[in-house]
Structure 1
Amino acid sequence: MTERKIFLSLAPGKMTRQPLGAAVLALLAGCSFIPVYERPAAPVPEHFAGVTATAAGPLASWREYFPDPAFHVLIEAALDHNRDLRIALARVEEARALAGIARADRFPTLEAQASGNRSRTLANISGANQTLVFNRYDVGLGLTAFELDFWGRVAALSASARAQYLATDEAAKSFRIGLISDVANTWLQLTELSERERLVAQTLKTRVEGLDITRKRQEAGLSTDLDVLAAESFAESLRAQWADLKRQRLQTDNALRLLTGMAVALPAPTNLANQPLLAELAPGLPSEVLLRRPDVRAAEQQLLAANANVGAARAAFFPRIALTANFGTASRELSGLFESGSKAWLFNPVLTLPLFDAGRTRANVDVAEARKVQAVANYEKTVQQAFREVVDSLAAGSTIGEQVAALEANLRAQLARFDRVKAREQAGIANYLEVLDASRETFSAEQSLVSSRRQLQSARVSLYKSLGGGEE
């Protein structure tokens, strides 16, 4: 509690003009039970592993970060039509309104009041031994139960509501960044599945043609039953993969339509090899990076709200003074409301002093302090989770790039091997099983390369999300 010293100057036989009540009010006005807030230290290493510490500059907006026009179409549709985002934004408006209500409690509410009353009292109970009819009309301004916030209880509740509003706003921003990332990743998955489905269809067509040739060679005595069975097995396995990829593509297509609110026709997927690679990002210092993430800022606002609630709970130990007042005119006749002598007023201060509540107020303080401990732990956990997401994204980006380069080299080697084995088979040096084995290995290398290219793009989308996204 802030301490203030007040000196009263006394003249002989009388007090100075400054009332004692004003001095007491001045003393009480400096009281507040909200604990001093200090941001908890980030429980993470000072630097990201393998990253040189630099100043973290602002991230590019999503329009700049995702150069493919297809991304622009889909992300804009999602931001305009996604229902979950609409719910999140509506929650922000709800929290804003609740904060406004809490702030309004710090100010008096004036009301214009008008009332009329007519009553009849029977003679046998009137005391005057005659039936009485009584009229009363009132018009005035009223102040109802306005709390004088000496201990900062109402101010603490207002601060808590404002922090909750800011936390909800940051949560909506975090959801928005997550929505952008989900749209980008789903589009990349759809592109991958479409490309893999196309490769399977091409390979299946080639293998079916090869199966027909093998059967004809078997009829001519140039191929064995084993060659035919091997060709059939490979063709049917491709047919099964084709059906599975079609299922996955259709489901991913439906997921993307839901994310975009079913508001636009989906663009035709392009080849991942021809798609512009997303930009690389320099993460900078962990503290600068993590504190700009909306989810971390939301966790800190929740901590601020919990801190303010502790002050409000502590203030409940002290008296409350509520004022009810009314000023206006009153008359027995409606026409006499504004005549001279009709002035009426009411002043009704109420002092409430807690004496015994079986430990309820103490328990409320314990609840508020326990919730603050939870908020601190939640904030620290959010920071740690953010740190891990950045490190994971950095690790994925650096290693998957090497993986893509290796798979490209492997595919070149498999294509060369397939061409040579096929030439040897046509020359009668190699058998058909070697051709099938080389074809199977080449197909597997193509599928792996497509998946790794998508993973590389997705890793950069994840890094964009983990660094807190860019400004619009």
Structure 2
Amino acid sequence: MRNMKALGAVTLSLALAACDMAPKYVRPELPVPATSPQGSAYAVDGGQGMAVTADTGWRDFFTDARLARVIETALANNRDLRLAVANVEQARAQYRVQRADLLPTVAGTGTATFSSQPLVQFGQSDRLRQDVYQAQVGISAWEIDLFGRVRNLTKSAQEQYFASVENRNAAQVMLIAETANAWLTMAADQERLRIARDLESAFGKTLELNKARFAKGVASELEVRQAQTSYDSARSDIAQATTLVAQDQNALNLLAGTTVPATDLPDALPQSDATLDNLPSGVGSDILLRRPDIASAEHQLRSANADIGAARAAFFPRISLTAALGTVSTGLSGLFAAGSETWSVAPTASLPIFDFGKNKANLRYARATYDAMLATYEKSVQTSFREVADALARRGTMSQQLEAQTSLRDSAKIAYTLSDARFRAGVDSFLTTLDSQRSLYNAEQSLLATRLTRASNMVELYRSMGGGLK
């Protein structure tokens, strides 16, 4: 017993003093400018003093109650997010399996051996019956991690687990953004359908007026056909918009993972913003480190760094230990009697001599994997920087574009009203009125598209800056 305790103390001391063959990890410098781009396209109003986007919970950011309920439904039911959660559980289980190799596995065994063999003495034959009972507790082939091979494999598995957690977070952020954009798209298509129906009604009245004028000989058949063309075009737009609304609802149901209640569906784009609009404008590049996809890429890089340490340790001796402490007796009643104790210790050391380049190839593979993960990390940072810059550029000119489109729509509306009055008074031809109707319709559509772009841009800016985790 005293020998076993001494051996255990020595083994523990060796394990604590073990070295680490992995390179020291240093976070790579961000391969992007320190601040967001500057210029006329990035000029914005407000947004100063706003809390960091990643600290703004999605329930606070999305101010429309119906949209917030749909997002909450998606977070509870979306299958892609459930898959990401399952991947996290898989990675955590794998990490725990690998971590268990750091400590010896203690197992207890009990055996009973019964044997009988012939025995010849003094010319007389007999049989010798022998019973042996044995019970022991021990460890088998436990690797004493002197050079950090097992610890680096455990570190690698741990970083893979952390990466899977960040992948799940990234899936949540993307799901929130996709759900919000799908809801806003459906809202815009609902409004597009309303505009098409209003236009059909206006063109229908104009068509009837031209038919009546033609019947009286005041208008030509050309004017009737022109009015009919515009009327049929509006009918076609109604059919297309109806299809889009149905498809938008299908897409929203898929994201939500269930059928969205009719009370939560939009009927038009909200007149007021469906989100907060005072997100920060001038931000540093270090905010990108809070994005879950960037964090996941860095954990993958750390995992590859640990794999290099494990590959290096394979060049050094591998020491393992098998030990057992137990008792043995020829009778079951004396199995735990005094003097029946047994123990055994069997340390083993192995050193690769000729492996035909296997360990070198493994090390090269580990280093190449690190280089690949480094390139992936840097590309992820650059892609994220571009996404934020693009969203800021879109936001910077959005107010001017929206103002211009609103003025254009208002002018087209007044022009149509005047041209229609002049046509009815017989001052202008129907062609002028027809052009005014089409211009108004195009202006309505452009204004709607601009409003949707503005709403979607706020969602994209929120997502690209790392919002959506809280």
Structure-1-length-normalised TM-score: 0.90
Residues 183 and 265, structure 2, Cα contact 8 Å, conserved in 1? no
Q: Give the corresponding residue for 2:23.
A: 35
Q: Give the corresponding residue for 1:274.
A: 271
Q: Secondary structure at the match of 2:133?
A: strand
Residues 81 and 261, structure 1, Cα contact 8 Å, conserved in 2? yes
Instruction: Map 1:12-411; keep pairs closer than 5 Å.
Output: 29-50=17-38, 57-59=51-53, 60-119=56-115, 133-262=129-258, 264-266=260-262, 267-272=264-269, 274-278=271-275, 279-411=277-409
Residues 56 and 288, structure 1, Cα contact 8 Å, conserved in 2? no
CA shift for structure 1 position 282: 0.9
Q: Give the corresponding residue for 1:10.
A: none
The aligned amino acid for 2:415 is R
Cα pair distance change 1:206/1:89, threshold 3 Å: same
| Aligned residues with identical type, % of pairs | 37
User: 211-220 or 226-235: which moved more?
Assistant: 211-220
- Tell me the alpha carbon deviations over residues 248-280 of structure 1, each in whole angstroms, 9 at most, x when there is no partner: 211111010111111541424143251325323
Q: Give the corresponding residue for 2:442.
A: 444
Q: Matched residues in 2 for 1:181 and 1:356: separation? A: 56
User: 334-343 or 310-319: which moved more?
Assistant: 334-343
Q: Secondary structure at the match of 2:37?
A: coil
Q: Matched residues in 1 for 2:318 and 2:333: separation? A: 40
Q: Matched residues in 2 for 1:430 and 1:172: separation? A: 64
Residues 75 and 81, structure 2, Cα contact 8 Å, conserved in 1? yes
Cα pair distance change 1:215/1:351, threshold 3 Å: same
- Tell me the alpha carbon deviations over residues 213-266 of structure 1, each in whole angstroms, 9 at most, x when there is no partner: 222221211211111111111111112222122222111110101111115414
CA shift for structure 1 position 133: 4.8
Cα pair distance change 1:238/1:27, threshold 3 Å: closer
Q: Secondary structure at the match of 1:347?
A: strand
- Tell me the alpha carbon deviations over residues 411-446 of structure 1, each in whole angstroms, 9 at most, x when there is no partner: 010011001001100110112222111111101110
Residues 33 and 285, structure 2, Cα contact 8 Å, conserved in 1? no
The aligned amino acid for 1:402 is Q
CA shift for structure 1 position 104: 1.6
CA shift for structure 1 position 302: 0.5
Cα pair distance change 1:123/1:430, threshold 3 Å: farther
Q: How many residues align?
A: 451
User: 140-149 or 259-268: which moved more?
Assistant: 259-268
The aligned amino acid for 2:67 is F
User: 397-406 or 32-41: which moved more?
Assistant: 397-406
- Tell me the alpha carbon deviations over residues 71-103 of structure 1, each in whole angstroms, 9 at most, x when there is no partner: 211011011111111110111121112112222
CA shift for structure 1 position 208: 2.0
User: 348-357 or 132-141: which moved more?
Assistant: 132-141
CA shift for structure 1 position 340: 2.3
Q: Matched residues in 1 for 2:335 and 2:291: separation? A: 63
CA shift for structure 1 position 332: 2.8
Q: Matched residues in 1 for 2:36 and 2:257: separation? A: 37
Q: Secondary structure at the match of 1:272?
A: coil
CA shift for structure 1 position 22: 5.8
The aligned amino acid for 2:23 is P
Residues 133 and 335, structure 2, Cα contact 8 Å, conserved in 1? yes
Q: Matched residues in 1 for 2:320 and 2:14: separation? A: 17
Q: Matched residues in 2 for 1:208 and 1:23: separation? A: 93
CA shift for structure 1 position 378: 0.5
Q: Matched residues in 2 for 1:36 and 1:120: separation? A: 63
Q: Matched residues in 2 for 1:26 and 1:334: separation? A: 39
Q: Secondary structure at the match of 1:237?
A: helix
Q: Matched residues in 1 for 2:365 and 2:126: separation? A: 61
Q: Matched residues in 2 for 1:434 and 1:163: separation? A: 69
User: 353-362 or 91-100: which moved more?
Assistant: 91-100
Q: Matched residues in 1 for 2:50 and 2:348: separation? A: 56
Q: Matched residues in 2 for 1:55 and 1:449: separation? A: 30
CA shift for structure 1 position 336: 2.5
Cα pair distance change 1:133/1:277, threshold 3 Å: same
Q: Matched residues in 1 for 2:384 and 2:267: separation? A: 32
Q: Matched residues in 2 for 1:28 and 1:361: separation? A: 25
- Tell me the alpha carbon deviations over residues 96-139 of structure 1, each in whole angstroms, 9 at most, x when there is no partner: 12112222211111122222333455789xxx987655433222
Residues 15 and 145, structure 2, Cα contact 8 Å, conserved in 1? no
Cα RMSD between the aligned structures? 2.6
Residues 83 and 261, structure 1, Cα contact 8 Å, conserved in 2? yes
Q: With CA pairs under 8 Å and 6+ residues apart, which has the higher RCO, 1 or 2?
A: 2
Residues 119 and 126, structure 2, Cα contact 8 Å, conserved in 1? yes
The aligned amino acid for 2:447 is L
Structure-2-length-normalised TM-score: 0.90
Residues 273 and 453, structure 1, Cα contact 8 Å, conserved in 2? no
Residues 280 and 460, structure 1, Cα contact 8 Å, conserved in 2? no
Q: Matched residues in 1 for 2:204 and 2:29: separation? A: 64
Q: Secondary structure at the match of 1:187?
A: helix
Cα pair distance change 1:129/1:402, threshold 3 Å: farther
Q: Matched residues in 2 for 1:130 and 1:45: separation? A: 94
